[in-house]
């Protein structure tokens, strides 16, 4: 048996019955990485020694029968913007190329406690700014379904690693779609939880009012298991929600009878590839056949969401990224006459083009005289977006849309067209602006490339999302889709 093909819950059953060991499983995954990662390039760092040590610890837990959780001994990859104590955390930026955090992000600490095995840190767009992983400061990641195409972004390394069997599951982060869009492009499941459901402590900040960490997995069951492990209030993150965490596996019920599923008309029209829209529409019809009620709704402010996002996110980024000055972290320009020259050179040499572009945009829109015209207006649009959703949710329990307006595009195809690149996120950004949970699950293929359907839920209603996603997964049979590579 090729152990890397197992989902988290399948592997757990075998580990529990002691039919396989965590060490065997980890070795199989490391072997798989050495076979395929030369082509996929999903990892910035493979932590093989640490993984084997953690696997031994997990095996000790199984031997003693103590401290066993559904994630014990499971090889998991972590996006390289989450701090891992003693393990390089670069955000795929030259400016952090040598940064080794002295502490663990809360999600990382929680996975450690659960006994998970850390297999490595995954590639991403620099500081999570991008939609294709081509803006990594080091190298692009390739889509394992077609190596000439992008895996999506910014969590492209995590998505590609899950789809290529280079880990059993991964963590990603999502500010405007960075978990869901790459999940859709790579044929995996990706969940962005409600803003505040998962702690952001130790997640390197991009746009703090939008950032959220979530699971990327090969099926919906695994997604619920990971969410169980990482969700919850954290005193170290003042925006984390002080609410108890339900057992998300309780949502894994294949039944949508009477559930009202809203189809927002703006997500099936302009700017959406017709073939993608048709496949996603079929997914809705499948759920209707299973007893759900389809309701047409409207989210009219959607058309302004992208523009408002590109005011708010860069504004927050320009402030968050001010800390990279060559003094406290990472890269420092070697030659400079004085301290100001040192700051300037460090930032000039350390940041990539896209990051500089965002810092300039953000600094401009926050500057005196422009703040009201741009930032304040964008904040108002954000309120309107939230109200749109509230109104829609009076008529339905969950919304169904495409995850990405287009199938995975070719490497290089959009790098010179910033607007086209940013259009990749038109379906995902509104949920971030409103702080709502949303999940992408595979729903078909176009010319051999995966297409994803997105479900958007009410605040803290991850349960309904997981239930509809699980039901759809049972109906469609699209689960544990491994890319044909290797």
Residues forming contacts to ligand GLN in the complex (CB under 6 A) are 128-131, 154, 174-178, 206, 313, 425
Given 93, 131, 136, 178, the catalytic residue: 178
Residues 6+ apart with CB under 8 A from 365: 311, 314, 315, 371, 374, 375, 378
Q: To the nearest whole angstrom, how small is the minimum distance from the Cβ of residue 125 to ligand GLN?
A: 7
For residues 160 and 256, which CB has a smaller minimum distance to ligand GLN in the complex? 160
For residues 3 and 311, which CB has a smaller minimum distance to ligand GLN in the complex? 311
Taking alpha carbons only, the member of 386, 469, 470, 473 closest to residue 433 is: 386
Measured CA to CA, the distance from residue 268 to residue 296 in angstroms comes to 11
Measured CA to CA, the distance from residue 470 to residue 254 in angstroms comes to 6
Q: To the nearest whole angstrom, how small is the minimum distance from the Cβ of residue 99 to ligand GLN?
A: 19
Buried-state track 16-26, b at ≥16 Cβ within 10 A, e below 16: eeeebbbbbbb
For residues 27 and 192, which CB has a smaller minimum distance to ligand GLN in the complex? 192
For residues 6 and 210, which CB has a smaller minimum distance to ligand GLN in the complex? 210
Q: To the nearest whole angstrom, how small is the minimum distance from the Cβ of residue 128 to ligand GLN?
A: 4
- Residue 301: C-alpha distances to residues 298, 400, 467 (Å): 9, 17, 28
What backbone phi and psi angles, to 5 degrees, belong to 453?
Answer: -110, 140
For residues 183 and 280, which CB has a smaller minimum distance to ligand GLN in the complex? 183
Radius of gyration in angstroms for the set of CA atoms belonging to the chain, rounded to a whole number: 21
Given 79, 110, 121, 422, the catalytic residue: 79
Measured CA to CA, the distance from residue 355 to residue 135 in angstroms comes to 9
Say if residues 352 and 135 touch (Cβ distance below 8 Å): yes
Measured CA to CA, the distance from residue 81 to residue 98 in angstroms comes to 13
Is 173 annotated in the active site? no
Q: To the nearest whole angstrom, how small is the minimum distance from the Cβ of residue 89 to ligand GLN?
A: 16
Q: Which residues pair with 215 in a beta bridge?
A: 171
Q: To the nearest whole angstrom, how small is the minimum distance from the Cβ of residue 428 to ligand GLN?
A: 7
Given 154, 199, 404, 440, the catalytic residue: 154
Is 209 annotated in the active site? no
Q: To the nearest whole angstrom, how small is the minimum distance from the Cβ of residue 398 to ligand GLN?
A: 21
Neighbour tally for 367: CB within 10 Å:
12
Q: Which residue has 């741009």 as its token pair?
A: 374
Is 154 annotated in the active site? yes
For residues 116 and 433, which CB has a smaller minimum distance to ligand GLN in the complex? 433
Residues belonging to the active site: 79, 154, 178
């Amino acid at each position: 048996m090729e152990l890397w093909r197992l989902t988290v819950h399948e592997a757990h059953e075998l580990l529990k019955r002691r039919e396989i060991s965590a060490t065997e499983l980890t070795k199989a995954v490391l072997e798989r990485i050495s076979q395929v990662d030369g082509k996929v390039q999903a990892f910035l760092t493979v932590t093989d020694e640490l993984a084997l040590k953690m696997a031994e610890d997990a095996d000790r837990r199984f031997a003693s029968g103590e401290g066993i959780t559904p994630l014990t001994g499971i090889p998991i990859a972590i996006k390289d913007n989450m701090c891992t104590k003693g393990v390089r955390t670069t955000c795929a930026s030259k400016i952090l190329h040598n940064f080794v955090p002295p502490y663990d992000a809360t999600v990382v600490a929680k996975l450690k406690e659960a006994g998970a095995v850390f297999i490595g840190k995954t590639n991403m767009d620099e500081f999570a700014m991008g939609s294709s992983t081509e803006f990594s400061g080091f190298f692009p990641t390739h889509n394992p379904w077609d190596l000439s195409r992008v895996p999506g972004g910014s969590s492209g390394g995590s998505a590609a690693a899950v789809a290529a069997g280079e880990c059993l599951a991964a963590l990603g982060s999502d500010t405007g779609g960075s978990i869901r869009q790459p999940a859709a492009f790579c044929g995996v499941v990706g969940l962005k939880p409600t803003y505040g459901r998962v702690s952001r402590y130790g997640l390197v900040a991009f746009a703090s009012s939008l950032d959220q960490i979530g699971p990327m997995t090969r099926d919906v069951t695994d997604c619920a298991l990971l969410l169980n492990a990482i969700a919850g209030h954290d005193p170290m993150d003042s925006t984390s929600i002080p609410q108890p965490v339900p057992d998300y596996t309780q949502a894994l019920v294949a039944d949508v009878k009477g559930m009202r599923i809203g189809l927002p008309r703006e997500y099936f029209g302009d700017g959406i590839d017709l073939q993608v829209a048709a496949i996603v529409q079929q997914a809705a019809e499948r759920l209707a056949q299973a007893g759900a009620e389809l309701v047409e709704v409207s989210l009219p402010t959607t058309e302004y969401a992208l523009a408002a996002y590109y005011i708010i996110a860069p504004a927050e980024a320009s402030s968050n990224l001010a800390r990279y000055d060559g003094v406290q972290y990472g890269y420092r320009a070697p030659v400079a006459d004085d301290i100001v020259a040192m700051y300037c050179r460090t930032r000039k040499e350390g940041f990539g083009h896209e990051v500089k572009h965002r810092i300039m945009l953000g600094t401009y829109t926050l500057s005196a005289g422009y703040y009201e015209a741009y930032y304040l207006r964008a904040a108002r649009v954000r309120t309107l977006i939230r109200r749109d959703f509230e109104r829609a949710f009076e008529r339905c329990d969950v919304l169904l849309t495409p995850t990405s307006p287009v199938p995975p595009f070719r490497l290089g195809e959009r790098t010179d067209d910033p607007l086209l690149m940013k259009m990749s996120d038109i379906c995902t950004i509104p949920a971030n602006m409103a702080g709502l949970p949303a999940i992408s699950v595979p729903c078909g293929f176009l010319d051999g490339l995966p297409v994803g359907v997105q479900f958007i839920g009410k605040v803290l209603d991850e349960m309904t999302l997981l239930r509809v996603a699980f039901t759809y997964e049972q109906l469609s049979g699209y689960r544990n889709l491994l890319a044909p590579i290797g």
